[in-house]
Copies of this chain bind each other. A is one copy, B any other.
Amino acid sequence: MIRKYTFGNPFNTEAVVVKLDEEKTLLPFFEVREKKEFVLRLKDSDVVYGLGEQVRGINKRGWHYTNFNADNPHHHEDTRSLYGSHNFLIISGEETFGVFFDYPGRIEYDIGYKRRDTMVISADSSDMDIYIILPEEGKYKELSIVKQFRRLIGKSYVPPMWAFGFGQSRWGYKTEDDIRQVALEYEKADIPLDSIYMDIDYMDSYKDFTVDKSKFPDLKQLSSDMKDKGIHLVPIIDAGVKIEKGYDVYEEGVAENYFCKDKNGEDFIGAVWPGSVHFPDFLNPLARDWFGGKYKVLTDSGIDGFWNDMNEPAIFYTRDRLNDTLKEMEEVVSENMGIIEFFHFTGMIEDLKGNEGDYTKFYHNVDGKMICHNDVHNIYGMNMTRAANEALNKINPDKRTLFFSRSSYIGAHRFGGIWQGDNKSWWSHILLSMQQLPALNMAGFLFIGCDTGGFGCDTTEDMMMRWVQYSLFTPLFRNHSSDGTRLQELYRFSNVKNLGEMIKIRYSLIPYLYSEFLKAYKNDEMMFKPLSFEFTEDDLAKDIDDQLLLGDSVMIAPIYKQNAHGRYVYLPEPMMLIRMRSVDDFETVNLTKGVHYVKADLNELIFFIRDGKAIPVCKTCKSTSQINPGTIKLMGFKDATYEQYFDDGISSDLSRITVKTIGNNN
C-alpha cells in the first residue's frame, strides 16, 4: 500500500515511474511543522533503515545526515554528505512503514541526533512529494515495503555479465603501455581479469571524448587486443567540459546553449581537472541527447563500458570566489597577522574547494524556465548517467553497456550502477561499504561495490587480502586506487598467489552472484539484506550489522580487522560454514544456531550456506567469457536444490531471463 502526499509544487525528479493520485488526508505518522519539518517520535526499540550511501551503521539512528551530493573523499563518522542522495527510509518497530521524500534539493535527517527519541526531516523548501509505504500482510514487513517501493521507482539497471568479472583500475595508468603491462602481469600471475579501467589520464588535457594520441596512439587496436584476452577497457567520463577554442564539445555546447548558465545568462564557469569548464545542463533533454551521443567517439573504438565521475558536480573553485578570496586575502594577510586573521585566511583558502555556495550561482533550463542548480542539485549526476544510458541504448540497441556513476539519486538505479566513491585504505571502510549495501539495494541500486583495497591512503598486503575476501561477493568488484598512493595491483604483493586464489573463487561463484542479481532485478528484491529483514523475531539479529544475507542461500561475514585470525559470527539458524583457501582446497563445517568465533587465517575465505540451501559453483576460469554452465555443481546441504536465473549475459532484452531448478542429482 503506497500513498502519495504532495506539499507545495514539487519539481518532477522522475524518480517515480508509477503515477499515483495525491492523497487528500493528512500525512500519517509525522507531525508537520510549518510544512518544512516532519517530526516523528521514535520508540526505544525502533530501528531506522535506509538512506543508501551514508555513513554509520545499518541502523541509522543517532546521527544527523544531509542529503546534498558532495565530492567528499572523507568518509568519516561525522561526515554528513556523500555522493548520492537516497531519501528512502524504513522505520521498523511496532508500526513499520517506509517513507520516500522525493525532493531534489538539500534535505536534512536528524535521526535521534538532537534527541534520541525524535526524528526530524527538514528541507530548504516544502515543495515535495512524500510517499508512505505500508507493509502487505505477512511476516516480512521490511521486505514487503522494499518490494512495493522498488515497483514504484522502476526496474533496476542490469549490466552485461562481464561486469561481474574482476577489474583492475588506478588513477595513474598514463599510457597504452601501462594498460598492456597490467594485462600482462595479471596473465603472468595467472589471475582472472575482465576489465581494466582508464582514469582521467587517457584524455587529451582532461577533455571529455578525446584520447591523448601521444599516449594512446590507437585505442581501437588496444581495445581489440585486450578483447582478445577477454579484457574490456572502461574509460572515465567527467561532468565538466573544458573551455577551449576549437574543442568540438565546448564549441557545440556553447552554440546550442547546452551548458548551465550564470545569473546573467552567460555559460557558468567552474574549475575542475581540465581547469576552467562549463557544466552540461543534463536536466535539459536536448543537452542529454547531445552529450550522450558523444559516447560514440569511444564506442567506435570498441569501448563497451563507462564510469561517470565528478558529477555531483565537483567544483574545485570558481573564478568569482577565487577572485573575491584573493582580494580579501590582500586585506588580511600581513607580516603582523594575528592568529585570528591567520585562521580566517587559511579558512578562506580551504573553503574554495567544494564550496556549496557555488551551487547557488548557476541555472538549468527546464522547459524554458531557469531553475537554480541548488534547488535540483541532487539529480544532476543521475541525469548525466541517464544521458549516457539513453544514448547508448540507441547506439547499441541490442547489447547492454556497463555504466556506473559516482553521484546518484533514486531513479539513477534504472540507468546504471554506482561505486561507493573515493574511500580510503582503512579497515573501517570495508565495514562501511558492507553496511551501505542493503540500504543501496533498498533504493534500487543493484550494481554496486567499493574501491577494493581503498582509493586514498596506502593499503597493506593483509588489508588487500581481507578486502578481496569481502568484495568478491559484491557485483562490482574493482581494485582501484589514487595516484600518489602505494601501488596495489594484486601482483605487487608477496602473497599474490593466495590473492589469485580468491579471484578464482570469485569466478567460480559468478553463477550464484549473477543469478541472485537477476532474481533481485526481476522480482524487485534485495540482493543484500540485513539479518533482521528475514529473522524478524530475532532480537540479536537486529544488533548484527557486520553480516549480511546475500541472496537466498548465503550469509557473508567478512573479516575486517587487522591481524585477526577469525571473527565472531552470529548464526540465526544452523548453517554450513565454508572455509576456502582455493577453489579446490576448502572444508565445510555444520554449525549450530548461535554465537561462534570462526577461525580464518589470512588466506582463508569464510562464508555460510543457509540451512537446507545450496549454491551453484562453476569451474573457475580466466574471464567471464569462459564460464562454462556445463561445469556447474551445487555446493551446500545434501539434496538441496537451487532456482537459477540466467540469460545470455549481454542481450538488452531482459524478458529473456529464464529460471530453472537445479540439483546435483538432476
Given known pairs A346-B349, A595-B595, the reply for A62 and B562 (CB within 8 Å) is yes
Contact residues in B for A542 (Cβ distance below 8 Å): 565
Contact residues in B for A346 (Cβ distance below 8 Å): 349-350, 352-353
For residue A154, CB closer than 8 A to chain B, the reply is: no
Complex CA gap A57/B225 in Å reads: 46
Is there contact, CB below 8 Å, between B322 and A116?
Answer: no
Find residues 75-131 in chain A having any chain B CB closer than 8 Å to their own CB: 76-78, 112-113, 115-117
Return the CB mask of A456-493 against B: 1 if under 8 Å, else 0: 01101111000000000000000000000000000000
- Complex partner residue of A56 from B335, B339, B562, B570, CB under 8 angstroms: B562
Given known pairs A59-B563, A116-B461, A543-B566, the reply for A273 and B428 (CB within 8 Å) is no
Is there contact, CB below 8 Å, between B424 and A78?
Answer: yes
Contact residues in B for A319 (Cβ distance below 8 Å): 335
Complex CA gap A568/B570 in Å reads: 10
Return the CB mask of A299-320 against B: 1 if under 8 Å, else 0: 0000000000000000011010
Considering the complex, give the chain B residue whose CB is closest to the CB of A595: B597
Considering the complex, give the chain B residue whose CB is closest to the CB of A568: B568
Contact residues in B for A596 (Cβ distance below 8 Å): 595
Is there contact, CB below 8 Å, between A273 and B62?
Answer: no
- Complex partner residue of A275 from B59, B273, B316, B338, CB under 8 angstroms: B338
For residue A294, CB closer than 8 A to chain B, the reply is: no
Considering the complex, give the chain B residue whose CB is closest to the CB of A542: B565
Given known pairs A346-B349, A543-B564, the reply for A62 and B457 (CB within 8 Å) is no
For residue A337, CB closer than 8 A to chain B, the reply is: yes
Is there contact, CB below 8 Å, between B563 and A57?
Answer: yes
Is there contact, CB below 8 Å, between A337 and B322?
Answer: yes
Contact residues in B for A112 (Cβ distance below 8 Å): 460
Q: How far is the CB of A339 from chain B (nearest CB, A)?
A: 5
For residue A666, CB closer than 8 A to chain B, the reply is: no
For residue A561, CB closer than 8 A to chain B, the reply is: yes
Contact residues in B for A77 (Cβ distance below 8 Å): 424, 426-428, 457
Is there contact, CB below 8 Å, between B565 and A539?
Answer: yes
Contact residues in B for A661 (Cβ distance below 8 Å): none
For residue A61, CB closer than 8 A to chain B, the reply is: yes
For residue A342, CB closer than 8 A to chain B, the reply is: yes
Complex CA gap A390/B516 in Å reads: 70
Contact residues in B for A274 (Cβ distance below 8 Å): 339
For residue A540, CB closer than 8 A to chain B, the reply is: yes
Find residues 406-442 in chain A having any chain B CB closer than 8 Å to their own CB: 424-428
Contact residues in B for A539 (Cβ distance below 8 Å): 565
Find residues 319-372 in chain A having any chain B CB closer than 8 Å to their own CB: 319, 322-323, 326, 333, 335, 337-339, 342, 345-346, 349-350, 352-353
Q: Which residue, of A426, A458, A595, has the highest number of chain B Cβ atoms within 10 A?
A: A595
Considering the complex, give the chain B residue whose CB is closest to the CB of A118: B494
Q: How far is the CB of A399 from chain B (nearest CB, A)?
A: 36
Contact residues in B for A563 (Cβ distance below 8 Å): 47, 57, 59, 61-62, 543, 545
Q: How far is the CB of A54 from chain B (nearest CB, A)?
A: 13
Is there contact, CB below 8 Å, between B116 and A495?
Answer: yes
Q: How far is the CB of A499 from chain B (nearest CB, A)?
A: 12
Given known pairs A57-B561, A349-B346, the reply for A62 and B463 (CB within 8 Å) is yes
Contact residues in B for A56 (Cβ distance below 8 Å): 562
Complex CA gap A76/B79 in Å reads: 14
Q: Which residue, of A273, A350, A561, A563, has the highest number of chain B Cβ atoms within 10 A?
A: A563
Is there contact, CB below 8 Å, between A317 and B335?
Answer: no
For residue A271, CB closer than 8 A to chain B, the reply is: yes
Is there contact, CB below 8 Å, between B342 and A63?
Answer: no
Complex CA gap A258/B571 in Å reads: 66
Q: How far is the CB of A322 from chain B (nearest CB, A)?
A: 7
- Complex partner residue of A63 from B337, B428, B460, B540, CB under 8 angstroms: B460
Q: How far is the CB of A229 from chain B (nearest CB, A)?
A: 30
Given known pairs A62-B460, A349-B349, the reply for A115 and B494 (CB within 8 Å) is yes
Considering the complex, give the chain B residue whose CB is closest to the CB of A594: B597
Contact residues in B for A317 (Cβ distance below 8 Å): 342
Complex CA gap A101/B452 in Å reads: 36
- Closest CB pairs A-B (n = 6): A568-B568, A78-B457, A77-B426, A59-B563, A349-B349, A595-B597
Contacts A115-B494, A116-B494 supplied; 5 other A-B pairs, CB < 8 Å:
A78-B426, A322-B335, A346-B352, A350-B350, A540-B597
A-B contact pairs, 28 of them (CB 8 A): A57-B561, A57-B562, A57-B563, A59-B562, A61-B563, A62-B462, A62-B562, A77-B424, A77-B457, A78-B426, A115-B461, A116-B460, A116-B495, A117-B494, A271-B339, A271-B342, A272-B339, A316-B339, A317-B342, A319-B335, A346-B350, A346-B352, A428-B428, A543-B564, A543-B566, A595-B595, A595-B596, A595-B597
